[in-house]
Amino acid sequence: MTLRPKDFEPKPDLPHEVSTGRWFIGGVIVAALLVAGNLFFRQIAGPSFALGFGCGMFFLGIFIRLKYGRWI
């Protein structure tokens, strides 16, 4: 069986099609940023502001992920 050049053409990527590995790495990065931001603001402005900041960053990250199909 001979492979023609068209067999090697790359398939077009869908905007929201991301491998599980990239999801995992993106999730670890976002979680690390959330923890760091939460600890940082807890020292400065108190727990309630840190909790609000963490939730805001979480939903902002999810929004960016769903809208643009990538992390940050």
Residue 28 domain flag: yes
Percent of the chain beyond pLDDT 90?
0
Whether the predicted model's global pTM rises above the 0.95 cut: no
Is residue 10 situated within a structural domain?
A: no
Does the residue 34 lie in any domain? yes
44 against 5, higher pLDDT? 44
**Domain total for the chain?**
1
What is the secondary structure of 31-48 as a DSSP string? Answer: HHHHHHHHHHHHHHH-HH
Asked if 26 contacts 65 with a C-beta cutoff of 8 angstroms, the reply is yes
pLDDT, tens only, 60-69? 877 877 777 7
The residue segments making up the domain with residue 53 are 19-68
pLDDT beyond 60 at 18: no
